[in-house]
């Protein structure tokens, strides 16, 4: 049996294999962030298709942290029944599900946030033209509190774990990055100060859910932006989180401003173009004692297996391959080891923006041709 299909544990959570569905915005929630049956069905397909751990799409912890339409929200006690239905259905399908918690920070606009966006400093970022308001200490404390409340709801409503989003230019990355964090107080300047917000979010979440509930982070190993977060600072933050007791770190990269070196890359058409965050993951793996997940361009079982065996990462996370083939894990386990069918064109993302929900546009065209 391939190492990919070994059963493992993350702080008491049994994970049936080493394949993680990386967080993926599906654009399938109501305007107020309430999850839908359509989204629950998608997670059940993933559970039945052999994903060891499903991480939900990014879920806003407070209303001004919302970014895109159809995004899930966990900012209110009002969605309890919907979330319990979701987690029950995934468990009945044999799956495990973690909720990804996010605050978009300055990477949103007032139409989605319902107010001027908040960020560590009043620095405009590429593709988000509104200058955000610099967060006061009260804003910082309120958002940390919101992460804690969100984690409380997630645990009470049946999620198996939470993962907070420390990548892709959202609020936690904005604090980590010297480019977007120009504060002169205890949250800005040195790497210790820039990591403070992430650490405080972690401690608030941990204090809320207790020591025996898995708490994870998706962390940028680098922003790939001049003046942005670099690997040494990411290793520092990862080490501090690991020492503090975080249960897993998923290594990612980039922000929407990073262009070809961003988080969701195209042209993954050969094994040598796969696993594009492996170097960063390796450096973080060497520094920490908690399990490490790596995401970004995994398409072939051989590349995934080598990352686990040779580079000693613990989990392989994928997003787009599971959009095209929710049953990819089962396919590989049953011995059909062909590369994932996803051609990394990002058409699914466009469908989410324009058609009210992500789906694989390439697969749909192929099916239509056959009919």
Ligand X SMILES: Cc1cc2nc3c(=O)[nH]c(=O)nc-3n(C[C@H](O)[C@H](O)[C@H](O)COP(=O)(O)O)c2cc1C
Q: Which residues contact ligand X by CB under 6 A?
A: 22-25, 57-58, 100, 165, 168, 218, 252, 263-264, 295-298, 318-321, 348-349, 352, 358
Q: What backbone phi and psi angles, to 5 degrees, belong to 251?
A: -95, 125
For 110, which DSSP code? H
Neighbours of 138 (CB within 10 A): 8
Should residue 282 be labelled a site residue for ligand SF4 when binding is judged by CB under 6 A? no
How far apart are CB 85 and ligand SF4 at their closest, in Å? Answer: 26
89 binds, among ligand SF4, ligand X, none (CB under 5 to 8 A by kind): none
Q: Is 320 in the site for ligand SF4 (CB under 6 A)?
A: yes
* Contacting range for ligand SF4; rule: CB under 6 A; set: 85-93, 126-134, 307-315, 360-368: 360-368
Residue pointed to by tokens 């919907």 = 82
Q: Does 324 bind ligand SF4 (CB under 6 A)?
A: yes
CB closer to ligand SF4 out of 131 and 345: 345
Question: How many residues of this chain bind ligand SF4 (CB under 6 A)?
Answer: 14
345 binds, among ligand SF4, ligand X, none (CB under 5 to 8 A by kind): ligand SF4
Binders of ligand SF4 among 169-198, rule CB under 6 A? Answer: none
- Site residues (CB under 6 A) for ligand SF4, limited to 330-349: 342-348
Minimum separation from the CB atom of position 41 to ligand SF4 (A)? 17
Instruction: Please say if 170 is a catalytic residue.
Output: yes
Q: Rounded CA gap, 97 and 283, in Å?
A: 27
Closer to ligand SF4 at the Cβ: 3 or 353? Answer: 353
10 Å CB burial of residue 121 (0-12, 13-18, 19+) is buried
Cβ pair 111, 31 in contact under 8 A: no
Tokens of 330: 């089962």
Stated as kind and residue range, the H or E segment containing 290 is none
170, 202, 276, 315: which one is catalytic? 170
The DSSP code for 169 is T
What is the C-alpha separation between 175 and 159, in angstroms, rounded?
27
Cβ atoms within 10 Å, residue 273: 15
State which residue, 154 or 351, has the beta carbon closest to ligand SF4.
351
Is residue 225 a contact residue for ligand SF4 (CB under 6 A)? no
Show the tokens assigned to 114. 């319902």
* Residue 36 Cβ vs ligand X, minimum distance, rounded to whole Å: 16
Q: State how far the Cα of 296 lies from the Cα of 276, in Å rounded to an integer.
A: 6
Angstrom distance (rounded) from CA 59 to CA 46: 18
Residue 183 or 307 with smaller CB distance to ligand X: 307
Residue from 227, 243, 247, 226 nearest 235 by CA: 243
By CB under 6 A, tell whether 323 contacts ligand SF4: yes
Which positions touch ligand SF4 (CB under 6 A)?
320, 323-324, 342-348, 360-363
What residues are labeled active site? 170
């Amino acid at each position: 049996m391939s190492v990919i299909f070994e059963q493992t544990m993350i702080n008491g959570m049994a994970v049936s294999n080493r394949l993680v569905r990386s967080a993926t915005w599906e654009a399938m929630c109501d305007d107020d962030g309430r999850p839908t049956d359509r989204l629950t069905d998608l997670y059940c397909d993933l559970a039945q298709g052999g994903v060891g751990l499903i991480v939900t799409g990014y879920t806003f912890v407070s209303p001004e942290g919302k970014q895109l339409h159809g995004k899930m929200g966990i900012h209110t006690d009002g969605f309890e029944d919907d979330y319990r239905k979701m987690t029950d259905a995934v468990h009945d399908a044999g799956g495990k599900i973690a909720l990804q918690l996010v605050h978009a920070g300055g990477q949103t606009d007032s139409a989605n946030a319902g107010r001027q966006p908040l960020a560590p400093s009043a620095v405009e970022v590429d593709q988000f033209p509104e200058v955000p308001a610099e967060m006061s200490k009260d804003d910082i404390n309120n958002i940390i509190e919101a992460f804690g409340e969100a984690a409380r709801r997630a645990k009470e409503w049946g999620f198996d774990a939470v993962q907070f989003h420390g990548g892709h230019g959202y609020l936690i990355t904005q604090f980590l990055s010297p480019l977007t964090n120009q504060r002169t107080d205890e949250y800005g300047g040195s790497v210790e100060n820039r990591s403070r917000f992430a650490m405080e979010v972690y401690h608030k979440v941990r204090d809320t859910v207790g020591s025996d509930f898995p708490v994870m982070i998706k962390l940028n190993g680098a922003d790939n932006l001049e003046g942005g977060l670099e690997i040494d600072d990411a290793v520092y933050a990862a080490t501090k989180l690991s020492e503090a007791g975080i249960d897993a770190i998923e290594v990612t990269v980039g922000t929407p401003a990073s262009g070809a070196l961003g988080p969701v890359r195209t042209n993954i058409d050969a094994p040598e173009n796969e696993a594009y965050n492996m170097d960063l993951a390796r450096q973080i793996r060497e520094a920490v004692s908690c399990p490490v997940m790596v995401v970004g361009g995994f398409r072939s079982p051989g590349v995934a297996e080598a990352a686990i065996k040779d580079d000693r990462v613990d989990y392989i996370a994928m997003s787009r391959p599971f959009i095209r083939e929710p049953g990819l894990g089962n396919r590989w386990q049953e011995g059909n080891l062909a590369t994932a069918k996803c051609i990394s064109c990002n058409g699914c993302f466009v469908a989410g923006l324009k058609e009210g929900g992500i789906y694989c546009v390439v697969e749909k065209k192929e099916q239509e041709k056959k009919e």
